[in-house]
Amino acid sequence: MKIALFPGSFDPITKAHVDILKRSLSLFDKIYVGIGTNSTKQSLMTIEQRLEMITAVFKDEPKLEMVAYEGLTVNFCKEIGASHMIRGIRTVSDFEYEKAIAQMNHSLIPEIESIFIVSKPGYSSISSTIVRDILRYGGDVSQFVPSAVLPFLK
């Protein structure tokens, strides 16, 4: 069974995240959507809210399981039996950042492979950070997040 982890803060999940996940489904038998705790980011939503939100977005997708975790992502992959980690790439700077992390992860646990999926051009400017900023200033984010997310942002 091919198992992957798609880690992130998902605060909130965006259309770009959804696109990467949907495009990954045919590659794996099971994908864990892992909400990692990141102490350097100021969260908009609690972990529980994010789990509920992502579950609402993917309620009809049996291959996905939403989980929260702490610690090194590569260690969590090993814990859940994931042989691959999925990462979305929007820009060249994303690639450089993700490449460095993938190389470190490979040094720590060589049997876990990082898979990079390049975002569609229309999604390359969408990030959870930008969506949070728009929300903080009362802007409309409906074009950047799935409609199932909107009730969680009120």
Give yes or no for residue 81 having a pLDDT over 70: yes
Domain boundaries defined on the chain: 3-152
Residues comprising the chain, all counted: 154
Q: How far apart are CA 107 and CA 127, in angstroms?
A: 28
Binding residues for ATP: 9-10, 17, 88-90, 98, 123-129
Average pLDDT over residues 115-133: 92
Collapsing DSSP to helix, strand or coil, 126 comes out as coil
Give yes or no for residue 60 having a pLDDT over 90: yes
Q: Which residues are catalytic?
A: 17, 41, 90, 128
Tell me how crowded residue 152 is: count the other CB atoms within 10 A of its CB. 18
Provide CATH code, domain 3-152. Answer: 3.40.50.620
Collapsing DSSP to helix, strand or coil, 103 comes out as helix
Q: How far apart are CA 129 and CA 80, in angstroms?
A: 28
- pLDDT bracket for residue 6 (50, 70, 90): very high
Binding residues: 9-10, 17, 41, 73, 87-90, 98, 123-129
